[in-house]
Copies of this chain bind each other. A is one copy, B any other.
Amino acid sequence: MNPHISPAPEAPAASAGAAPLKLRRVAIDTYRENVAYLHRDCEVYRAEGFQALSKVEVTANGHRILATLNVTSDPRIVQCHELGLSEDAFAQMGVPPGHPASIAQAEPPASIAALHRKIDGERLGRDDFHAIVRDIAQHRYSKIELSAFVVATNRGELDREEVYFLTEAMIASGRRVDWHERLVVDKHCIGGIPGNRTSMLVVPIVAAHGLVCPKTSSRAITSPAGTADTMEVLANVELPFDRLGDIVREHRGCLAWGGTAHLSPADDILISVERPLSLDSPGQMVASILSKKIAAGSNHLVLDIPIGPTAKVRSMPDAQRLRRLFEYVAHRLGLSLDVVITDGRQPIGHGIGPVLEARDVMRVLENHPLAPQDLRQKSLRLAGRLLECDPDIRGGDGYAIARDILDSGRALEKMRALIGAQGARPFDVEHPALGALSFEVTAPRAGVVTAIDNLQIARIAQMAGAPKVQGAGVDLARKLGEPVAEGQGLYRVYAAYQSDLEFARQACLRNSGYSLGEPGEVPHVFVEF
């Protein structure tokens, strides 16, 4: 029905429109949620009937963004004639301070109906996921709505077809790189194992062989160091995307932070709520990892799923279920995927924390006598798998070729080239810049190391300051199955600040992360790849 609408005879002429507001940058970091600030006495605020936590649409110079409204009575934050935007939001507008801007009640994101269906437990279709992810990437979801989406799609709430739709939508939300190469390879680990810096060895080995491996990594999300944090000890990792492309074309690889590349940007926004909730469901993990890799232009991926009592995946049936989900979605998206299930019973290498891990990596590359053998072996195996996707390499020969590249120094040479191209930072493998404060944790009795708790060791390294404090972390002196005498060191904790040292010491006192016992008590692992 189209109603007839007539002005009331007594209606006065339209009142003059309110003067436009002036845009102001409010220097508050609100972490990927756009926030707009209005003064409580602002005429527009009073007139429009905005409600608490209203979503508003801010328009300036033809650009429009959505933001959550906060109200202030402090004119030093915004004055009555101003419209404040948090740092990220202001940057998105792309106009100078003082530019005229208008604000209006935002219509709810178009995909909210689909979100509600998901909350109600329904299965969503391809268009639903594309609509939701598009709204997320355009900052149309509040943190509250993001959390609702993350919880509603957690665990068993997404079937594999839905995970495929979600992944596809996340790829479509950002840039997709085309390297114009037949083979573009990458490796990735689902995470959870401290010290597991194999990428920094696999990339130089594979690139030295000649395969293209444009590795972009995250910073630590819940761990004491991500590959980007550790690489940052050796080189600049925040490179403009065009510069990254040049490096990859010249050197066949890179080891950079992925944040500048606008690859699967919806994923970065979802992580901003998954992290504080400590949620990492299989469906979200698959969509996050595969969308980033495919957007980065990879067509062949080796995926590392560590398994162990304190790893993310704790049983072989769980690992196999996760493998099948990765394989299903990768196949639908045309990505060649090789899943390896690895030993995740303990940290890899000795050091945990950016500087300590960089030291381990460089020791392996330099064939140093103190190089951690587990890090070396695992990296060679993963690099071997990747090399075998080269049609000129026979299945089974990859490991030996990788070992030759490492032992001959060609991997070290390639790493030095990458470091130089990205912008080298001073680093001395014999005298790494560790935190000036430290303490040692020693064995209360003689025995054999029967367990090392990945989560607790990671927590101690974080409390000591990693990854923010590059030289902070944990340096393991004993690994699984090794004997130790009473009073001998198990590990040393490094920190730069006394308060961090004390936090870490308290954590060690509550739980050192080590168990000692008899040799027969060391858990076996049946994963060999």
Contact of A144 among B30, B273, B514 (CB under 8 A): B273
23 contacts between A and B (CB under 8 A): A1-B516, A3-B509, A4-B442, A7-B439, A8-B492, A15-B497, A18-B499, A31-B52, A47-B496, A47-B499, A53-B272, A53-B275, A116-B278, A119-B155, A119-B279, A121-B155, A144-B147, A145-B276, A147-B147, A147-B151, A148-B277, A151-B151, A151-B152
For this chain, the copies found in one complex come to: 2
Partner of A5, one of B275, B462, B509: B509
Distance between A472 CB and nearest chain B CB, rounded to angstroms? 8
Pair B49/A462 contact, Cβ less than 8 Å: yes
Q: Flag if B155 contacts A52 (CB, 8 Å).
A: no
Q: Give the distance in Å from the alpha carbon of A438 to the alpha carbon of B145 in the complex.
A: 35
Are A29 and B72 interface neighbours, CB within 8 A?
yes
CB contact list, A74-117 vs B, under 8 A = 74, 76-77, 105, 112, 116
Residue ID in chain B nearest A466 by CB atoms: B49
CB distance from A269 to the nearest CB of B (A): 13
Which residues of A322-357 have CB atoms within 8 Å of chain B's CB atoms? none
Question: Which residues from chain A sit less than 8 Å from chain B, CB to CB?
Answer: 1-8, 10-12, 14-15, 17-18, 26-31, 37, 40, 47-49, 51-53, 55, 70-74, 76-77, 105, 112, 116, 119-121, 142-148, 150-152, 154-156, 272-273, 275-279, 436-444, 462, 465-466, 468-469, 487, 490, 492, 496-501, 503, 505, 508-509, 512, 514-516
Question: How many angstroms from the CA of A111 to the CA of B490 in the assembled complex?
Answer: 33
Min CB distance A146 to B, Å, is 8
Which residues on B sit within 8 Å (CB–CB) of A53?
Answer: 31, 272, 275-276
Q: Which residue of B lies closest to A469 (CB)?
A: B49
| Bound complex: CA A278 to CA B18 (Å) | 31
Q: Which residue of B lies closest to A487 (CB)?
A: B4
Complex formed: what's the CA distance from A485 to B53 in Å? 43
Return A14 CB to nearest CB of chain B, in Å. Answer: 5
Task: Given A498-B15, A500-B47, answer yes or no on A27-B509 (Cβ-Cβ < 8 Å).
Answer: no
A29 to B442, CA, bound (A): 50
CA distance A497 to B496 in the complex (A): 59
Chain B residue at minimum C-beta to C-beta distance from A14: B498
| Distance (whole angstroms) from the CB of A463 to the closest CB of chain B | 8
**Which residue of chain B lies nearest to A505 when distances are taken between CB atoms in the complex?**
B5
CB-based contact A1/B515 at 8 Å: yes
Q: What 5 new A-B contacts, CB under 8 Å, besides A5-B509, A31-B70?
A: A2-B444, A2-B509, A4-B443, A11-B439, A119-B279
Q: How far is the CA of A72 from the CA of B4 in the complex (A)?
A: 52
A105: which B residues are within 8 A, CB to CB? 503
A444–B4 CB distance below 8 A: yes
> Which chain B residues lie closer than 8 Å to A498 at the CB level?
14-15, 17
Quick check: B508 and A120 within 8 Å, CB to CB? no
Q: Please pick, from B3, B70, B441, B442, the residue contacting A441 in the complex, using a CB distance under 8 A.
A: B3
Q: In this complex, what residue of B is CB-closest to A70? A: B28
Per the bound structure, the CA–CA distance linking A438 and B437 in Å amounts to 73
Q: Which residues of B contact A503 (CB under 8 A)?
A: 105
| Closest B residue to A506 using CB positions | B5
Residues from chain B with a CB closer than 8 A to the CB of A516 are: 1
- Residue of B with least CB distance to A112: B278
Nearest chain B CB to A282 CB, angstrom units = 12
Cβ–Cβ contact B490 & A3, under 8 A: yes
Q: Could you say which of B11, B40, B156 contacts A121, with CB atoms under 8 Å apart?
A: B156
Instruction: State A4–B445 Cα separation when bound (angstroms).
Output: 9
Q: A8 and B156 in contact (CB under 8 A), knowing A77-B28, A148-B151?
A: no
A444 & B1 in contact (Cβ 8 Å cutoff): yes
In the complex, are the beta carbons of A514 and B29 less than 8 A apart?
no
A74 to B436, Cβ gap below 8 A? no
Residues of B within 8 A of A465 (CB): 49
Residue numbers in B under 8 Å from A155 (CB-CB): 119-121
How far in angstroms is the closest Cβ of chain B from A521?
13
- A27–B73 contact, CB under 8 A? yes
Of A3, A52, A273, A505, chain B has the most CB atoms within 10 Å of the CB of A3
Among A12, A52, A505, the most chain B Cβ lie within 10 Å of the Cβ of: A52
Chain B contacts of A497 at CB under 8 A?
Answer: 15, 47-48
